[in-house]
A and B are shown apart, each in its own frame.
Chain A
Amino acid sequence: CHFFFFFFFPPSNLCVAALRSATRDGESVVRAMEFSLSGNGLKTFSRCITCLARIGNELAIEASSSQLEFHTLNSSRSAYQSITFKPGFFDVYTIFGAQVKFSVLVKAVCAVLRTPIQSIDHLRVQLPDPDASKVQWTLECNNGMRKAYSITCNVEPDIQHLALDRNGFPSSLIVRPRDLNRLLANFQSSLQEITIIATETTSLPSDADSETGEKAVELRSYIDPTKGQLVSCEFTNDLNGEYLTAVLLTVDNDSSLHTQLWIDPTEEFVHYNHVGDPVDITFGVKEWKAFVSFCESCEVDIHLYFEKAGEPILMAPKVGLSDASGSNFDATLVLATMLTSQLREENPSEQPQRAASIPAQAVRQKEPQAQPESSHRATASEHPSDQTKIWSDLSGSAARSGSAAAEDRQTAEDRNLSATDLRQSQRLGRIQISENVPAGAPAASRHHNREKGPPEEAQDTPQVNDNAFSQRHPSNWVDATEVDDDDDDDDEDEMCIQSTPPYCEEH
């Protein structure tokens, strides 16, 4: 009989290894677990691995006679993904014994799947015995090459199970990945966290002039106020030209793009269900995008289950009407949500003032005599535009345009008086604060500190003052005049927000 390469097998199990006999094409007797895949199953499997790789580092594998489960947890323990395969998913699926558990590095599995799927005839995964230190992943390629990867595995994985009952969530939505990607494209690509605010859809009859579509859902960028960003690194010589100093300019997140998107769930979602008070959930975007890509490549819709801030959300591919495709494969992603609700700090008023009240409250914190600009915001929120309206706030609290067309980002409409009031209050607020703020140097001290000293905001950096997130940071307040130097149309009464790309290009 032929003996195949023995160094595949762990030396501690020599007696077991001696029992193995190999046929010419390398099949060996396996005592723990074996499965093999080809064709479409292999494609799906590869997409699963790609998604898992974007979530966590360690892949826990649990095999039983009824199913094979992969799961991973991200490093900040805020995302847990689980993928379950039924035996019918595979060409071959064999388990010896009750259950096999081990974990591998996801990166190692990615290395196996580097070979293009279309050039693979089949993949075979073998765990020689339950205590094996290596698991074999063998690719038989169409061109005749065989690639046998032997990946170190850890037989004591410490990833816990997380099983959430989908039916336990009061609210849910179903969205097509393509539509979701389109909505997410409005947000800065480097966005880390996002907030979804869900409100109950009322059954208001829509107006004849179609301006009052029911925008029951809001997507809002969430910028963690405690996380700064490195904007630029500037090297300067000191006055004598002798020493090179590096000035690292860190700016807190005012310079980020803040985006809010109001959408009509009946237009954008396949299904939407939420009853009761508005709830908001804030969670990480990176893992969400990974899952969206995964669903898109598998051509399935995304089912998102949620409850409220602080409770995890669950996502799963929406199984189609026909049971056949979804029955032997399932995936779920659980994301932790931020404990503090974005809505909680509002004044307890009704929904139309929801967006208004956060900045109103922020202003109240800083500047007692600030005009309540909630009035103008409430006005604006009562006049949403068609399907989807996009409001990108780059500087100060630009009022929304009530009648802007859906795709028109130019919100250079006439502002009502309250906007001016707001700016007034901003200036007041700023001046007050400038004396005691170490970071975010105001203009006065900027010139003195040109060459060295405290981190200063680069003059060209777009100053963002999104009141919704500024309640904790006085440094967020900006002298509106500095900002408008660049983008205003010489009319200080009119806050003119130019469309985002040219604005950014200037800087």
Chain B
Amino acid sequence: MSSSAVEPEAADLVCQLENVQGMVDSLSAVRWKRHQDAVVELSEHGIVLILEESNCLQAKVYLRKELFAQYDYNAEERPRFGVSLGLFVDCLSTFTVPGRASAIEIRYPGPDMQLLLKSLDSSDACIYAEIRTIIPDTVSWDYNFEPAGSVPLSFTVKSAALKEAIDDLEWPGSSIRINLKPAPPSVSFRGEGHGDLQIDLMYNVNSDLLLDFNCNHPVSHRYKYKFLRATTSNLPSSVMKENRGSKLTIGRGGMLKVQHLVPVGRAPFPNPHVIDSASHQQQPGRIAYIEFFVKPEEEEDDNRND
């Protein structure tokens, strides 16, 4: 994996985060089950977490290095390890202090390939955590998302509205059909079960529900409700409050990509314990990217794909 075993001092990655809450929020957004194992990849660009279920749903969390106050990457090859997501998030949560930004340092690997966390807030007390890591599955299924055609099929909808729609679709349950129509420009979600529910979102100048819409031909695919639900079930409250857009794109074969932006807020005041590297961007809003990929259900009847 890395040569850090030879030189214990030079860890593959040492990074410092000013506000651990942002990381908790981003990772929570991909928690849809109690027990999930995440594959973590470290690189010179940042940290990526990948989760999967049943070969039908994949989620990725991108934490670019610019989100960190300090990011020292020293590995030769990109380290990959597995960690229990719930454990990781719960552990990070213990470092958070309500109402105050708390800074932590993340270090990998420890002497036994653990993930090491350390609080940086005070000089008299320290919270320290070690998380066991596991060797990840050899092949993580690469969804290889490709655009459906030359023109992307996508729309951007307010995150809160998307979550509301998907929550409402629990009532019919089973599988949900997503229809995109170019004229009139609209998106609809339809579920049929003991009762039917169809939720329509129109795209027009007045509506601020659909922030963007790209579709040049009608498209329709079905997705299992529980996977669709996973894409919004745990959106952090910061996302709902900011209510930016979540972008949904339909790729080749009907693969659905759902993208969210999670703010990873900066501390209001510079934390004296955190070394703020000079190259660190002083941006007011820093974002973690969350991506979900949902495989469509096979169509039994006539192929309504493009």
Q: Are B168 and A147 in contact (CB-based, < 8 A)?
A: yes
- Selected contact of A151 from candidates B195, B198, B200, CB within 8 Å: B195
Do most interface residues of chain B lie in helix, strand or loop, or is the interface mixed? mixed
**Which residue of the partner chain B has the closest CB to A146?**
B200
CA distance A8 to B197 in the complex (A): 10
Chain B residue numbers with a CB within 8 Å of A108 are: 171, 195
Q: Is A436 an interface residue (CB 8 A)?
A: no
Q: Are A144 and B201 in contact (CB-based, < 8 A)?
A: yes
With A111-B171, A115-B168 already in contact, the answer to whether A143 and B199 are too (CB < 8 A) is no
Q: Are A145 and B195 in contact (CB-based, < 8 A)?
A: no
Chain A residue numbers with a CB within 8 Å of B201 are: 144-146
With A24-B184, A143-B209 already in contact, the answer to whether A148 and B198 are too (CB < 8 A) is yes
| CB-CB contacts below 8 Å: A61-83 with B | none
Chain B residue numbers with a CB within 8 Å of A8 are: 196
Chain B residue numbers with a CB within 8 Å of A447 are: none
Chain A residue numbers with a CB within 8 Å of B209 are: 143-145
Nearest CB on A from B206, distance (A):
8
Chain A residue numbers with a CB within 8 Å of B195 are: 108, 111, 134, 149-152
Q: Are B198 and A145 in contact (CB-based, < 8 A)?
A: no
**Which residue of the partner chain A has the closest CB to B165?**
A145
| CB-CB contacts below 8 Å: B181-214 with A | 184, 194-202, 206-210
CA distance A114 to B168 in the complex (A): 8
Task: Give how many B residues have a beta carbon under 8 Å from the other chain's beta carbons.
Answer: 21
- Selected contact of A148 from candidates B158, B164, B165, B197, CB within 8 Å: B197
CA distance A112 to B164 in the complex (A): 13
From B165, B195, B198, B199, residue with most partner A Cβ within 10 Å = B195
**Which residue of the partner chain A has the closest CB to B206?**
A144
Provide the A145-179 mask, 1 if CB < 8 A to any CB of B, else 0: 11111111000000000000000000000000000
Chain B residue numbers with a CB within 8 Å of A115 are: 164, 168
Chain A residue numbers with a CB within 8 Å of B15 are: none
Q: Is B113 an interface residue (CB 8 A)?
A: no
Q: Is A243 an interface residue (CB 8 A)?
A: no
- Selected contact of A150 from candidates B165, B184, B196, CB within 8 Å: B196
Chain A residue numbers with a CB within 8 Å of B198 are: 5, 147-148, 150
Q: Are B202 and A144 in contact (CB-based, < 8 A)?
A: yes
- Selected contact of B207 from candidates A7, A114, A144, A149, CB within 8 Å: A144
Chain A residue numbers with a CB within 8 Å of B184 are: 24
CA distance A7 to B195 in the complex (A): 12
Q: Is B161 an interface residue (CB 8 A)?
A: yes
Q: Are B196 and A134 in contact (CB-based, < 8 A)?
A: yes
Chain B residue numbers with a CB within 8 Å of A147 are: 168, 197-200
With A24-B184, A114-B168 already in contact, the answer to whether A145 and B161 are too (CB < 8 A) is yes
Chain B residue numbers with a CB within 8 Å of A114 are: 168, 171
Q: Are A143 and B161 in contact (CB-based, < 8 A)?
A: yes
Chain B residue numbers with a CB within 8 Å of A151 are: 195
Provide the A1-25 mask, 1 if CB < 8 A to any CB of B, else 0: 0000101100000000000000010
**Which residue of the partner chain A has the closest CB to B171?**
A111
CA distance A150 to B137 in the complex (A): 45
CA distance A143 to B199 in the complex (A): 12
Q: Are B197 and A149 in contact (CB-based, < 8 A)?
A: yes
CA distance A286 to B199 in the complex (A): 35
Chain B residue numbers with a CB within 8 Å of A144 are: 201-202, 206-210
With A24-B184, A152-B194 already in contact, the answer to whether A146 and B199 are too (CB < 8 A) is yes
CA distance A8 to B206 in the complex (A): 28
Chain B residue numbers with a CB within 8 Å of A148 are: 196-200
CA distance A115 to B195 in the complex (A): 17
Nearest CB on A from B301, distance (A):
13
| CB-CB contacts below 8 Å: A96-123 with B | 108, 111, 114-115
Provide the A201-218 mask, 1 if CB < 8 A to any CB of B, else 0: 000000000000000000
Chain A residue numbers with a CB within 8 Å of B202 are: 144, 146
CA distance A134 to B164 in the complex (A): 24
CA distance A115 to B169 in the complex (A): 12
Chain B residue numbers with a CB within 8 Å of A111 are: 168, 171, 195
Nearest CB on B from A65, distance (A):
28
Nearest CB on B from A22, distance (A):
12
CA distance A166 to B196 in the complex (A): 41
Chain B residue numbers with a CB within 8 Å of A5 are: 198
**Which residue of the partner chain A has the closest CB to B160?**
A143
Using CB atoms and an 8 Å cutoff, list the residues of chain B in contact with chain A.
Answer: 158, 161, 164-165, 168, 171, 184, 194-202, 206-210
Closest 6 CB pairs of A and B: A150-B196, A144-B207, A144-B209, A146-B200, A111-B171, A148-B198
In the complex, given contacts A115-B164, A145-B209, what are 17 additional A-B residue pairs having Cβ atoms less than 8 angstroms apart?
A: A7-B196, A24-B184, A143-B209, A144-B202, A144-B207, A144-B209, A145-B165, A146-B199, A146-B202, A147-B198, A148-B196, A149-B171, A150-B196, A150-B198, A151-B195, A152-B194, A152-B195
Using CB atoms and an 8 Å cutoff, list the residues of chain A in contact with chain B.
Answer: 5, 7-8, 24, 108, 111, 114-115, 134, 143-152
Pull 11 A–B residue pairs with CB atoms less than 8 Å apart, ordered by A. A108-B195, A111-B195, A114-B171, A115-B168, A134-B195, A143-B209, A144-B210, A145-B200, A149-B171, A149-B196, A150-B197
